Structure 1
């Protein structure tokens, strides 16, 4: 029952992420940016119901705050101040790249998908061969792309505010997974968290 409730809460959080973009659907470049955002959130909502139960997990106020901040803050972005020209095109490209990276990583994760720090098995194939957290990186790129499509102070502040929560969340996950010798070996093989050669 507890796991089913967790799956439902997770799915609802992704469905809520669709709301800002749903107000501005149209057959324009900006409309395409909204469709990409909605598709990404909808896929993640559906996949929330197909997860493995974790072998171990860390559930406390700190992990809930870090995970919630990372996921929820970008959902408060609003589609105002529509960009044009190269910025609009680049924003859409970022969004598409973010969705593709996130979903390809999700395919390789299979049912090992979760939000709070947990060990559902170590995944080291696909995008995980290059970085340890491609799903988070994809989510960040998708969010930045949306903010580029709709550049305003609110959206930029929300992206900047999301970064510390994402880093905090990654630190928590790696602290939890480091108890597993297989993950420690994986960290030795793949030194980068989000982008090869940078971080």
Structure 2
């Protein structure tokens, strides 16, 4: 009887993950952003207390921790605009309010109103960030259009919350330095909003969203 040679099947190729330089840059950016959110919790953690200011700090700590975790899973942008102008506007808008200092302490109604503004600003900005989920970023980019939650009232609720928070802090500590920093921040914020909307107008979905939501920053004003 003739022996039959066993059939040897060809090895099956196992696909390997495709690592790209763009993917590595995105992962590095996610890590840097997560670390930035965690570092932002340090000043608030030092000021925890059983007060209205303490409650605002708890909200800030919770929101920053959530965003730090979500930073690792955020979407890569479909398109983005990275140049000196976008870096200058985004950096100034975020950094200038952080240069305010607790020098002259207000009292009475001004102090209470300032704390209420801070708490409202923190809640609004963190809720808006949660609605953005994996679509949030720092520089102008299109990661998908978000139109729910606070985005039904203004097109940039995170910036609105950041502005209200900063104004509240300046009311709590009304020094010339703090007031000047707020006044300087506003034009950079408007510039940053303009850059983002120029970028996003290329998306028909965003143009429809602009038709539904009229105001960019402050409801009924701007």
TM-score range for the pair, normalised by the shorter chain length: 0.7 to 0.9
Match of 1:32 in 2: 54
Q: 1:50 to 1:88 in 2, by over 3 A?
A: farther
Contact 2:48 2:58 in 1 (8 A): no
Aligned with residue 194 of structure 2, among 144, 167, 171: 171
SS at match of 1:111: helix
**Matches of 1:47 and 1:9, distance apart in 2:** 12
CA distance in structure 1 between the partners assigned to 2:160 and 2:33 by the alignment: 19
Note the residue ranges of structure 1 that are not aligned, 5 or more in a row.
Answer: none
- What is the rounded CA distance, in whole Å, between the counterparts of 2:101 and 2:195 in structure 1? 29
Separation of aligned partners in 2, 1:28 and 1:85: 18
Greater relative CO, 1 or 2 (CA 8 Å, sep 6+): 1
| Distance across 1 between alignment mates of 2:143 and 2:39 | 26
Matches within 5 A, 1:124-163: 124-163=147-186
User: 2:109 — aligned with what?
Assistant: 86
User: Which protein has the larger Cα radius of gyration, Structure 1 or Structure 2?
Assistant: 2
Q: In structure 2, what is the equivalent of residue 119 of structure 1?
A: 142
Structure 2 gaps, min length 5: 1-23
Mark the CA change 1:197 to 1:30 in structure 2 (over 3 Å): closer, same or farther. closer
**CA–CA distance in 1 between the matches of 2:73 and 2:103?**
35
Q: Does 1:187 align with 2:210?
A: yes
CA gap 1:91/1:146 in 2 versus in 1, 3 angstroms: same
Q: 2:100 aligns with which of 77, 83, 93?
A: 77
Per the normalisation by structure 2, the TM-score is: 0.79
CA deviation after TM superposition for structure 1 residue 156, in Å = 1.2
The number of equivalent residue pairs is 198
Q: TM-score, normalised by structure 1?
A: 0.88
2:122 aligned with 1:99: yes
Q: CA deviation at 1:26?
A: 6.0
Q: Report how far residue 195 of structure 1 moved.
A: 2.1
1:33, 1:69 → 2: CA distance?
A: 27
Q: CA RMSD in A?
A: 2.3
Residue 166 of structure 1: CA displacement?
A: 0.6
* Aligned partners of 1:63 and 1:169 also within 8 Å: yes
Distance 1:176 1:148 in 2: 34
Aligned-partner SS, 1:115? coil
Would you say the 8 A contact 1:20–1:78 is kept in 2?
A: no
**1:104 CA displacement:** 1.4
User: Partners in 1 of 2:161 and 2:93 — Cα distance?
Assistant: 12
